A and B are shown apart, each in its own frame.
Chain A
Amino acid sequence: GAVVSQHPSWVICKSGTSVKIECRSLDFQATTMFWYRQFPKQSLMLMATSNEGSKATYEQGVEKDKFLINHASLTLSTLTVTSAHPEDSSFYICSAGRPGTRWQFFGPGTRLTVL
């Protein structure tokens, strides 16, 4: 399968600070990347769809000013959690849509803990 990387793999931050998570598609150019969040023992919930060169599309209930998404190149999308609070603690996973297919390949995830 395709390789998608995420950095960092885990981060601990203080309440009120901002955290940036990077997602890279390493072996294909992804015009569309997706950001998901998973709470313990729950399913993956789509947060937003990131399109290269345009604004992200957010799912209902996701604050776009809190979760800033930038997809500046065909291989990199970033998610910035601004003014993080303990309730933002979660497992964040990105995926890259392989062009010409309906497949998505997922990164390894980032564990965010906000103290």
Chain B
Amino acid sequence: DQQVKQNSPSLSVQEGRISILNCDYTNSMFDYFLWYKKYPAEGPTFLISISSIKDKNEDGRFTVFLNKSAKHLSLHIVPSQPGDSAVYFCAASRNTGTASKLTFGTGTRLQVTL
């Protein structure tokens, strides 16, 4: 049972345009969401997170939007740069009072073209 899903396995965007990566979840107990960027044969790099009490969080070129009623979140990257080309994973966690285990989506490969 895939509790966190990224339905687009790949996305191609031109440099300078907006990249929108989507993520859906099924478990209503998830209350914290994170986005990670990953290159092959490397560990994921934390990008941005959002708590379920918010619907938007922004950090530089990265903005995450959360729609709790739809159980959907998205990561916007604007403007997209060639260095953004990587696999992006969304992850979700439940509040267990301590560092919580993450459930990862299946990933979306972003290709930013010149």
B43 touches A43 (CB 8 A): no
Are B98 and A44 neighbours in the complex by a CB distance under 8 Å? no
State which of A34, A106, A107 has its C-beta within 8 Å of the C-beta of B101: A34
Whether a CB of chain A sits under 8 angstroms from the CB of B11 is no
* Residue of A with least CB distance to B94: A102
Contacts of A98 in B (CB 8 A): 99
Segment among B14-22, B59-67, B76-84, B102-110 that sits at the interface with chain A:
B102-110
Contact B99 A108 (CB under 8 A): no
Please give me the residue from chain B that is nearest to A51 by CB atom: B98
B44 touches A106 (CB 8 A): yes
A42 touches B106 (CB 8 A): yes
A104 CB-CB contact with B under 8 Å: yes
Contact A111 to B41, CB < 8 A, known contacts A103-B46, A104-B46, A106-B36: yes
Chain B nearest Cβ from A34, distance in angstroms: 6
For A31, list chain B residues within 8 Å (CB).
Answer: 98-99
Residue of A nearest to B4 (CB): A43
Instruction: Please give the distance in Å from A100's CB to the nearest CB on chain B.
Output: 9
Nearest CB of A to B55, in Å: 17
Q: Which of B89, B100, B107 contacts A102 (CB 8 A)?
A: B100
Q: How many Å lie between the Cα of A6 and that of B34 in the bound state?
A: 22
Cβ of A34: which chain B residues have Cβ within 8 Å of it? 99, 101-102
Considering the complex, give the chain A residue whose CB is closest to the CB of B46. Answer: A1
Cα(A1)–Cα(B102), bound, Å: 18
Instruction: List B contacts of A91 (CB < 8 A).
Output: 41
CB-CB < 8 A to B89: which residues of A?
A: 43-44
Give bound CA distance, A34 to B98, whole Å.
13
List residues of chain B with CB within 8 A of the CB of A103: 34, 46, 49
Interface pair B43/A107, CB less than 8 Å apart: yes
Q: Given A43-B107, A44-B89, A109-B41, A49–B101 Cβ distance below 8 Å?
A: yes
In the assembled complex, which residues on chain B have CB atoms less than 8 Å from the CB atom of A102? 32, 34, 49, 51, 93, 95, 99-100
